[in-house]
Amino acid sequence: MKELIAAQRRYFFSGATRPPAFRKGMLTRLEQAVLRHESLLTKALEADLGKPPFEAYATEIGFALSQIRFLRSRLERWCAPRRAPFSLATFPGRTVVRPEPYGVSLIMAPWNYPVQLTLAPLAAALAAGNCAVIKPSAYAPETSGALTNMLSEAFPRQYVAVVEGGRSENAALLEEKFDYIFFTGSTETGRAVMAAAARRLTPVTLELGGKSPCIVARDADLETAAKRIVWGKFLNAGQTCVAPDHIWIRQEQQEELIERMRRHITRFYGEHPLDSPSLPRIVNEKHYRRLLALMDAQKVIFGGGSMDAALRIEPTVMADVTEDHPVMGEEIFGPILPILHYDDLDALIAHLQQKPSPLALYLFTRSRAVERRVMGGLSFGGGCVNDTVIHLGSHHVPFGGVGESGIGSYHGKAGFDTFSHYKTIVRRGALDLPLRYPPYGDKALRILKKLM
């Protein structure tokens, strides 16, 4: 690893990665590699997670291709130095702000969206002019292997390299000196990554998670809420960092919402969801057993079935759950949806303000006043009103967490910014203002106060 990182650093300092034309060419190469390997990536995602081809393309391969093309079409403009407005401190002179790449970046990807969450930050790193070491998750071995083959074929290792393996490889990489670290994964592991980065003062982006709430207001359209909550929650079998983790609803609305969700679950996944080709599986035995332990048969009112041999769990709804229940003690990250009750919206907002800031928050309401109260009163990474999950689909807006759900953001321009240092340069000639030089006097101070 030391030799690999040293080789990447030498390549970076050669200046080869800096010209915008080179960066655009490398993004084109990445796009072509994805297109050539699309079938293999789709099969790998099916093998690791049971993802149907539509979901694999919509949430992984197609998303990555769209991100690559978006970055490539705009990076030349983003790379250009930006002239800063006049400032007394720099007059007379010209000030420019120039984006420059950090150097050698480490991108640590998770298993739940292993293609998207590897290639989207990689595309941003390359667009910004960096070299990259990729560490895919060992929990998605087929996809890890497919990405390794694809990227090794497309790029020389001194520019883009993949390091496969498990925890020992993760730990070894974090012992090395990188110029930037981009990590996607759990909050617990994110703390370890940040601690390792702190030893070398390496800047980091942490894309984490949390218990993202879904609030159903009194005036919500329950049919729309049911359909979109079911879609967002059970996408990828609930193994989505921005999935609605749980629902807050008034008790008198619960029965109607549950009945509507029941109909949509049946519509999406059939009478026997465990046999549905549209429902992915749980990634491994460990997570499968963890999820089964979170289900309470006395609270389950719909679903609850499982298939050990296939690591599949039915879309499951648990009603009348309280916050002291085990399912509320951690991010669920699976197809289990608890429903909790609230009586007063302002009291719920005050209660949620005391919780760690989640990665996402969802609100269903027809009232702009309610929207303002909830969206303005709570801290979260991003979210939707009257929908779920889709806010991360636009390349025109940043995606990221806040507090325990993450540090920093990416997607589109935000990704280019994340992997760029903005360097300020002042260029001056011989003309000078003598006021700044000592000896200082009362007259100079009076003039300074009028100027500033």
Cα 290 from Cα 210, distance rounded (Å): 17
What does DSSP say about strands 382-385 and 160-162: parallel, antiparallel, or unpaired?
Answer: unpaired
Active site residue 241: yes
- The CB-based long-range contact list for 352-355 (8 Å cut-off, 24+ gap) reads 352/213, 352/378, 353/377, 353/378, 353/379, 355/211
**What is residue 57's DSSP assignment?**
I
Q: What is the pLDDT of residues 217-246, one digit of tens each?
A: 999 999 999 999 999 999 999 999 999 999
Provide mean pLDDT across the span 5-31: 98
Q: What are phi and psi of 440, to 5 degrees?
A: -90, 150
Q: What is the pLDDT of residues 109-151, one digit of tens each?
A: 999 999 999 999 999 999 999 999 999 999 999 999 999 999 9
Cα 224 from Cα 333, distance rounded (Å): 23
Domain ranges of the chain: 2-208+406-425, 213-399
Minimum mean pLDDT among 130-139, 266-275, 433-442: which range?
433-442
19 — pLDDT class (breaks 50, 70, 90)? very high
Q: Is the pLDDT of residue 88 over 80?
A: no
Q: What is the pLDDT of residues 153-178, one digit of tens each?
A: 999 999 999 999 999 999 999 999 99
Provide mean pLDDT across the span 278-302: 96
Cα 256 from Cα 400, distance rounded (Å): 34
Predicted pLDDT at 86: 80
**What is residue 230's DSSP assignment?**
H
- Distance linking the first and last C-alpha atoms of the chain: 52
298 — pLDDT class (breaks 50, 70, 90)? very high
Provide mean pLDDT across the span 63-70: 98
Catalytic pick among 241, 314, 384, 404: 241
Predicted pLDDT at 433: 80
Topology of domain 213-399, per CATH?
Aldehyde Dehydrogenase; Chain A, domain 2 (3.40.309)
- The SS3 assignment for 437 reads coil
215 — pLDDT class (breaks 50, 70, 90)? very high
- Tokens in use for 291? 């999820």
Predicted pLDDT at 450: 87
Provide mean pLDDT across the span 273-301: 96
Closest CA to 179 of 100, 68, 80, 76: 100
The answer to whether 325 touches 338, Cβ cutoff 8 Å, is: yes
**2-208+406-425 belongs to which CATH class?**
alpha beta
- The SS3 assignment for 72 reads helix
Structure-derived torsion over alpha carbons of residues 82, 85, 87, 93, reported in degrees to the nearest 10: 60
Query: Over pLDDT 90: what percentage of the chain?
Result: 93
Element (H, E) at 253: helix 251-269
Average pLDDT in the chain:
96
Provide mean pLDDT across the span 179-202: 96
Q: Is the pLDDT of residue 435 over 90?
A: no
Predicted pLDDT at 451: 82
Q: Is the pLDDT of residue 253 over 90?
A: yes
CA angle in degrees (0–180, nearest 5) for 283-289-294? 110
Predicted pLDDT at 90: 80
Cα 117 from Cα 192, distance rounded (Å): 19
Provide mean pLDDT across the span 21-47: 98
Whole-prediction pTM value? 0.95
Cα dihedral sign, 160-165-167-171? negative
Provide mean pLDDT across the span 323-327: 96
The answer to whether 154 touches 29, Cβ cutoff 8 Å, is: yes
Predicted pLDDT at 447: 87
Catalytic pick among 31, 55, 60, 207: 207
Active site residue 207: yes
Cα 403 from Cα 409, distance rounded (Å): 12
Predicted pLDDT at 91: 81
Closest CA to 364 of 255, 252, 256, 247: 247
What does DSSP say about strands 213-216 and 204-207: parallel, antiparallel, or unpaired?
Answer: unpaired
31 — pLDDT class (breaks 50, 70, 90)? very high
Closest CA to 110 of 81, 70, 139, 152: 139
Provide mean pLDDT across the span 94-115: 97
Provide mean pLDDT across the span 74-95: 90
Q: Is the pLDDT of residue 399 over 80?
A: yes
